[in-house]
């Protein structure tokens, strides 16, 4: 696991899973605990990138432990605790179903970038939020009025949607500006276009 940060962004750390087969709840728990230790080392705001590039197989129980429970436990922390965000990176198509199913079961969602560099939301997200999230992913950073103009929407409704996305740790708010989590990654300017899962 490695870490880096820049002054204007959250502290970014990469959690490499170092395993090809994530297939039991016991394995998933061990992996989750190592990621939680990485998160706990930082006071926040922080962004942890969970790197799936070495993973060949992940089953539902492992996805529930590694991704869904990690997000659930992080969101359950006290409001005054540092804000921690997560993105998944390097997902293959076969990873998406178990991860998305585990998240949907808990009513959660996570931002992800596939191995083909497509940006997606996995888990439970309403259609309006999908559209706003994709628009912000293309823009990188924007205020609600500018983003609403891009999607021909109402600025107040767009701001409410962005606030909900921030509460769910799917975007980051800083004052009136909202940022795609991918805008904080060094590879964010590679021309990746959002897609749909």
| Residue ranges covered by each domain of the chain | 1-124, 126-185
Residue 136 pLDDT more than 50? yes
pLDDT of residue 181: 96
Helices 127-139 and 155-167, axial angle in degrees (round to 10)? 90
Residue 136 buriedness (CB in 10 A; 0-12 / 13-18 / 19+)? buried
Least-confidence region, from 4-8, 111-115, 116-120: 4-8
pLDDT of residue 63: 96
Bridge-based pairing of strands 57-58 and 84-91 is unpaired
CATH architecture label of 126-185 = Orthogonal Bundle (1.10)
Residue 177 pLDDT more than 70? yes
Query: pTM score > 0.95 for this model?
Result: no
């Amino acid at each position: 696991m490695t870490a880096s940060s820049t002054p204007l962004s959250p502290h970014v750390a990469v959690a490499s899973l170092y395993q090809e087969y994530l297939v039991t709840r016991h394995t998933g728990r061990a992996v989750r605990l190592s990621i939680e230790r990485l998160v706990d080392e930082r006071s926040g705001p922080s962004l942890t990138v969970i790197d799936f590039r070495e993973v060949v197989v992940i089953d539902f129980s492992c996805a529930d432990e590694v991704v869904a429970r990690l997000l659930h436990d992080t969101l359950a922390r006290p409001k005054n605790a540092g804000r921690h965000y997560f993105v998944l990176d390097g997902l293959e198509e076969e990873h998406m179903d178990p991860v998305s199913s585990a998240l949907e079961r808990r009513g959660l969602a996570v931002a992800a970038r596939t191995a083909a560099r497509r940006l997606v939301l996995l888990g439970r997200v309403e259609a309006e939020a999908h559209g706003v999230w994709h628009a912000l992913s293309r823009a990188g950073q924007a205020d609600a009025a500018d983003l609403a103009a891009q999607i021909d929407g109402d600025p107040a409704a767009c701001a409410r949607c962005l606030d909900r996305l921030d509460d769910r740790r799917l975007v980051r708010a800083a004052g009136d500006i909202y940022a795609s989590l991918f805008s904080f990654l060094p590879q964010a300017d590679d021309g990746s276009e959002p897609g749909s899962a």
